[in-house]
Chain A
Amino acid sequence: MFGYYLELALRSLRRNKVLTALMVLAIALGIGASMTTLTVLHVLSGDPVPGRSSTLYYPQIDPRDMSGYLPGKSQPMYQMSWIDGMNLLRAKRADRQALMTGGLVAVQPHNTMLDPFYEAARFTTADFFPMFGVPFEYGHPWHAADDEAHARVVVISAALDDKLFGGKDSTGKTLRLSGVAFRVVGVLGDWHPNPQFYDLLRKSFGENEGVYVPLSTSQDVGMNHDGSTDCWGNGGSGKNPSHTAPCAWLQFWVQLDTPTRAAAYKTFLVHYSEQQKALGRFQRPPNVRLRDVMQWLDYNRVVPDNVRLQTWLALGFLLVCLVNTVGLMLAKFMRRAPELGVRRALGASKRALFAQLLVESGLVGLAGGTGGLLLALLGLSLVRRQPAEYAPLAHLDPAMLLVTFLLALGASLLAGLLPAWRACQIAPALRLKSN
């Protein structure tokens, strides 16, 4: 039966090529535009650390003085100061914890063919790697003992390993960073967390750092800090923030395996704030937050407003295209009223006619979906050429491919419902008479 309907549908679609082409085009344009923007939205609002994001938290406390404080309204400090970061790190109240900040190091390659260059770096304590589930191609992360010993060890990204050592196992080799010799202990595997949740002030999307150095060592060597520094009171100056100045410039992440542990940790943060206030370091009443990865991304509005607006616009556009298709489909089905009348008179049931017309609109939807897919691929390649940070990430994944066809099919069936129903209401006798 279905095969017969398909044949009828194809014949009918071929009969009026212009109308068919217009319908397919309208669906293709609507689907193409909305799939392009939905894919970008989907990629940008994804989970950067799947499976771990609900156990990773970003604690915030408020060590500032009272000026500018609005009870209940003021958000705590965005980042951590050195003193608080170190205190919380040493308290070891979480399952895992890492204190980190961004930096910029001069890489001086052994290979004289390469000029010295600057590379983005992450200065962090050892838990960074196991906590974020960072895969290693060669070697291993450094250990907490290396942090204590201020060891001159470095972990590099696969891209930097390619550039410096031709992609070979470089563990054990020496790498000169900012004039000091470091021993490579590990090379990262395929790891590209996007958005870059652990330090959104550096940038939200794009390539992660090439160089990873123990935080303690980076401070000994005097490596350049690269990131935002917020000072309060009589804050410090200079390029590298001092350890004693009232400035926040570090990110602190903790892993808390159960909600109970998370609640306990929040209580600990409040106690810590109270204790520091009693000591006279803090002045504000305890003002703490403990957001997990997705809450943190949401709070930071990581998905650009532009992208959300574009998605709304594209969906509005799809709606315009759909209403159009409904109109065109109605015109097409009603024009076939005489033929439908004959079929009814010969004994076809309303349901059979309805099914036949829906097969026809579904066919239009499939063709429109294919066209829409091509348009979406074109649209995404245009997006990738844009200068935005997130642009290189705009790729269609299998899930979105499926969504494209489901959306196209659903949209065209929806568009076909009303016209098909109208066309089935025709009284066969009336049609036959006028023929």
Chain B
Amino acid sequence: MAIRSTEIRPILASLRKHRIPALLIVLEIALACAVLCNAVFMISQRVSDIQLPSAIDQQGLVTVSLRGTDDKLVGSDIPRNLAALRGIAGVQQAAVTTSLPLSHNNWGWSFGVSPDSAVANRKNINVSLYFLGEGGGKALGLHVLQGRFFNADEFAGSKFDTAALPETHVVVMTRTAASRFWPGQSALGKTIYSKPFYYTVVGVVDDVLRPNVYTQNTSKSYDAIYFPMSAAGSKGAFSYYILRGAPKDRDRIMREAEQKLAELNPGAVAKGKIYMDIRNDYFADMRSMAWMLVLVCAVMLAVTAFGIVGLTSFWVGQRRRQIGIRRAVGATRGQILGYFRTENFLLSTAGVLIGMLLAFGINLYLMQHYEMSRMPWYYLPAGAVTLWLLGQLAVLGPALRAASVPPVEATRSV
């Protein structure tokens, strides 16, 4: 749309005569632009949270929790239960673990890199602890990037004594945790401390999410470390049996595993869950929030468009006579169409300029009072373009009606 100043001047003159309707359109577009930018930014944040990657076999994992067993007997119960679970058709791996990514079941601790680090030292790094029974690495599908996973002796030799940390000296950590403890260096062979405990890194695995994730600082969501743990020394800390199979078998595996564990442990309660359900449940709130935002955006854009249609129609109706005169003195239909489109373009421009400022201000406010990060700059022009297009689309109908006003209208009174 080429705009010449000769076209703009009469438009400005006419707008000056209709200040209130013009201001209303500007305000409408400004508000819609401000709300739209922030809502779309929130949607994108929710969506990227929901899709946070986690390097375990999420699709093939089945979990079963078993409650009400005697903690003194776990040393013999767990191997027996695992042997039975491995007998289920389609089960490739089975193991026990204390917690799972996104399960809300967090064991937190903090470690330092110097031998005098005590647990509450402020310079320490807070991590989530996962304790795995033998075969746990394969059952989860962890990807070892450097070094190795635990060997059978390390599993068998690890136990809880009186403290919350295990009596072992080896640890495996995620790539992100490793680079947080020793930025720019290889973690292999180095040691983390929490007086009087110390653990040497024997392997680094690809990033796995913690039981709870941080929605703002997503890199913190991967600070997880793994310890080996023997069944006999676990003091009942193993909360989940994990089974790995093909995704198509997982429902059947879950049912059979539930049944088998209930048979073997009378009086206890076995509850199975597909891992993907644990993940989906974790993000269910965010997903519904994202959908609500999408709905609000769509409805708001529709309302704004109808508002523009309504006001412009009124406008066209008021100026039928003037349009007729212009047509009579030689203006083409295209020029009339152009007039209304240019007018809308000018109003939209004023609207989106105010709207972008408003959007920025709202974002600043939300950053101060809520868990919200800074909106990247390109959301503002994207919102502006959307409203420009919406304005042009909305004005098309009334403008076409204006263009079809016959020149003879000039001779009629109102």
Residues of chain A touching chain B, judged by Cβ–Cβ distance below 8 Å, are 19, 22, 25-26, 29, 33, 64-65, 67-68, 104, 106, 116-118, 231-232, 234-239, 305-306, 308-310, 312-314, 316-317, 319-321, 323-324, 326-328, 330-332, 334-335, 338, 386-388, 418, 422, 434-435
Contact = CB atoms under 8 A, between A and B. Distances in A.
Contacts of A306: 285, 289
Interface of B: 20-21, 24-25, 27-28, 31-32, 34-35, 38-39, 42, 67-68, 71, 118-122, 160-164, 235-237, 267, 269, 281, 284-285, 288-289, 292-293, 296, 299-300, 303-304, 306-307, 310-311, 313-315, 317-318, 366, 370-371, 413-414
B21 A330 contact: yes
8 contacts: A236-B163, A237-B161, A309-B42, A310-B292, A317-B299, A324-B28, A386-B284, A422-B20
B370 A305 contact: yes
A238 B165 CA distance: 11
B164 A237 contact: yes
A330 B71 contact: no
B304 A324 contact: yes
A309 B370 contact: yes
Contacts of B300: 317, 320
B28 A29 contact: no
A387 B285 contact: yes
A386 B288 CA distance: 7
A68 B122 contact: yes
What secondary structure prevails in chain B residues at the interface with A? helix
A320 B304 contact: yes
A309 B293 CA distance: 11
B373 to A, nearest CB: 13
Most chain B CB atoms below 10 A, which of A64, A324, A422: A324
Contacts of A314: 296
A320 B351 CA distance: 13
Nearest to B307: A324
B374 to A, nearest CB: 16
A296 to B, nearest CB: 20
Contact of A22 (B71, B310, B318): B310
B378 to A, nearest CB: 21
Return the 7 tightest CB-CB contacts between A and B, nearest first.
A331-B314, A324-B307, A68-B120, A67-B120, A387-B284, A327-B24, A237-B164
A327 B25 contact: yes
Contact of A328 (B160, B164, B310): B310
B50 to A, nearest CB: 14
Nearest to B26: A323
B267 A116 contact: yes
A331 B39 CA distance: 30
A331 B35 contact: no
A330 to B, nearest CB: 6
Contacts of B414: 338, 434-435
B269 A237 contact: no
Contacts of B281: 387
B276 to A, nearest CB: 15
Given A26-B303, A29-B303, A386-B288, A237 B310 contact: no
A239 B74 CA distance: 14
Contacts of B237: 239
Contact of B120 (A22, A29, A232, A239): A232
Contact of B307 (A26, A237, A305, A312): A26
A241 B364 CA distance: 44
A264 B164 CA distance: 38
A330 B24 contact: yes
Contacts of B293: 313
Nearest to B413: A434
A327 B163 contact: no
Nearest to A64: B120
Contacts of A310: 289, 292
B136 to A, nearest CB: 20
B311 A331 contact: yes
